[in-house]
Amino acid sequence: MKVPIYLDNHATTPVDPRVAEALLPFFTETFGNPASRNHAFGWAAATAVENARKQVAKLINSRAKEIVFTSGATESDNLAIKGVAHRYRERGDHIVTLPTEHKAVLDSVKRLEQEGFRVTYMRVRPDGLVDVDDLKHAITEKSLLVSIMAANNEIGVLQPLTEIGRLCHERGVLFHTDAAQAAGKIPLDVEAMQIDLLSIAGHKMYGPKGVGALYVRQRGMPVELAPLLDGGGHEGGLRSGTLNVPGIVGLGKACEVCRELMPEESRRLAALRDRLKDGLLAALEGIHINGSLEHRLPNNLNVSFRGVELAALMTDLNDIALSSGSACTSATPEPSYVLAALGVPEELAHTPLRFGLGRFNTEEEVDYTIGRVVETVKRLREMPSLEEPLPAAPRFRQA
């Protein structure tokens, strides 16, 4: 076993060797521009892009022509949310989302609020799940879009996509889901779940950074979007710009590998996650697991430790790559806005560790992590608090 150990697979994943092998030739050998329609170099690149489009579509049960390639899930979220709002503004001005969404969604709807759109931020239950009955009452005649992520990037909670999709279609509202954390880890079926728009990021699923995709429904009632970028009319006019062929090939291959490995990989990662959880709970008191354990990504564990300063904990665990899941400065850690929305007490919302297990993690690494976390938490709890008053300085008479 080598250290440091990487357990931050929600932030990004290593590129799978099979993916790297597939995309490398498109940097130096098959380097053509797929928009070049007059020679073999362009034709080969265009064929590779369309093959990748099919691979992405197969992962989520869509049609290839419903896949739009982007630079990542952030762009996909922006295109989906702003694209719907600007295209259908004459029909309504209302969007529904959750306060626990990724910033790519929250900042997009905040920008729309500045343009005069109205946004409802649905409350979530203490386990992180949305109440579908509450959602039903939040949707109005002026609602254009419901945007609720498939799996939360901090606590891994899985939202009831099928129920949400059914409700949205009954009410004539479009349904977008940010599936950056979920794609390749749990089964997603845009038809069965009645999803209209779905965002994917390559680097969250063992593909390259800087590439993603947006599924845009074309069957039944096709979704129309106002583009964010103009110039060249690439990707059906929805995303102009020369295509990132190596990245797209890598994304396609990553989707293919994930689809093949998903059943067994999910079981293995869930077993590792439970081994980690049980090991921590057996050795430590004052632990709070954030979010639903029943409805959760198989590779996620988010834990708060009572009586421990997060900065000290993260510093001492420098041989394990982890995330706090909160916005931290070097001086003062801010509480996680996700945990705050769940109603987690401030003391615990300040001290979460997000464990993101991945394809290449082992039992040995998990056992090492348990030992290191337990050892560190116990030691930090035994140290005097920095908030306790310091003893008075001795007084000396001047000579």
Kindly tell me the burial class for residue 149, based on how many C-beta atoms sit within 10 Å of its own C-beta (0-12, 13-18, 19 or more): buried
Kindly tell me the burial class for residue 146, based on how many C-beta atoms sit within 10 Å of its own C-beta (0-12, 13-18, 19 or more): buried
User: 340: closest CA among 134, 99, 80?
Assistant: 99
* 323 vs 300: CA distance, rounded Å: 12
First to last CA, the chain: 62
- Is there a contact between 239 and 206 (Cβ–Cβ < 8 Å)? no
Token pair of 185 as six digits: 């880890």
- Is there a contact between 216 and 70 (Cβ–Cβ < 8 Å)? no
Amino acid (one-letter) located at 27:
F
- Is there a contact between 241 and 232 (Cβ–Cβ < 8 Å)? yes
CA-angle at 146, arms to 142 and 152, nearest 5°: 155
**Partners of 354 in beta bridges:** 302, 323
328 tagged catalytic: yes
CA-angle at 60, arms to 55 and 65, nearest 5°: 60
Which of the following is catalytic: 168, 255, 258, 328?
328
> 94: which DSSP letter?
E
Helix, strand, coil abundance in the chain, percent, nearest 5: 40, 15, 45
Contacts of 281 (CB under 8 A, 6+ apart): 287
Active site residues: 328
